[in-house]
């Protein structure tokens, strides 16, 4: 993932809205973001224009409405972010990444069960 395509924290907040709501206008995104913090409409508009330029979102024009949607799925985007972090911060070591992630925040029993299931499904696979 190139640095220019890597979403910032604010861009990720917008993407989370788009992933949960589906294609939305700037106003709709701003309204959702304002439920948790005070974010101006023009700030959201500018961020979404930057995201369009970076290729993170796509825009459809329907009459006067500009409808934005993520270019990629949540899983694909988060996967690219993790791979980028894996290489930049952990030298490509999945083990170091996972150990640091688990040490940073205690996993719930449900999360641990999902992790065990993933590990079990990977047994026998060649890298």
Tokens representing 96? 């170091």
Residue ranges making up the domain that contains 52: 9-70
Residue 64 and residue 14 in one domain: yes
pLDDT at 29: 97
Q: What is the mean pLDDT of residues 116-120?
A: 90
What is the CATH number for 36? 1.10.10.10
Pairwise CA distance, residues 26 & 2, whole Å: 25
Question: For 62-112, how does the pLDDT look when each residue is reduced to its tens digit (9 = 90+)?
Answer: 888 999 999 999 999 999 999 999 999 999 999 999 999 989 998 999 999
pLDDT at 45: 97
Residue 56 and residue 81 in one domain: no
Pairwise CA distance, residues 76 & 12, whole Å: 13
Residue 13 and residue 65 in one domain: yes
Residue 45 and residue 90 in one domain: no
Residue 57 and residue 100 in one domain: no
Residue 65 and residue 81 in one domain: no
Residue 56 and residue 88 in one domain: no
> 81 Cβ partners below 8 Å, 6+ apart?
1, 6, 7
Residue 109 and residue 66 in one domain: no
Q: With a cut of 60, say whether residue 126 has pLDDT above it.
A: no
**Core vs surface per residue 7-46: b (16+ CB within 10 A) or e:** beeebbbbbebbbeeeebebebbbebbeeeeebeeeebbe
Q: Number of structural domains, the chain?
A: 2
Pairwise CA distance, residues 75 & 72, whole Å: 8
Q: Do the beta carbons of residue 81 and residue 7 sit within 8 Å?
A: yes
Residue 48 and residue 80 in one domain: no
Pairwise CA distance, residues 80 & 87, whole Å: 11
pLDDT class of 2 with cuts at 50, 70, 90: low
């Amino acid at each position: 993932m190139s640095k220019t395509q890597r979403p910032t924290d604010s861009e990720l907040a917008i993407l989370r809205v788009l992933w949960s709501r589906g294609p939305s206008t700037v106003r709709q995104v701003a309204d959702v973001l304002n439920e948790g913090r005070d974010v101006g409409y023009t700030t959201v508009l500018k961020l979404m224009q930057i995201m369009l330029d970076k290729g993170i979102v796509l825009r459809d024009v329907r009459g006067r409405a500009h409808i934005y949607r993520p270019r990629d799925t949540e899983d694909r985007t988060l996967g690219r972010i993790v791979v980028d972090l894996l290489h930049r911060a952990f030298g490509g070591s999945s083990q170091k990444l996972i150990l640091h992630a688990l040490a940073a925040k205690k996993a719930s029993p449900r999360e641990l069960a999902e992790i065990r299931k993933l590990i079990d499904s990977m047994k026998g696979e060649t890298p």
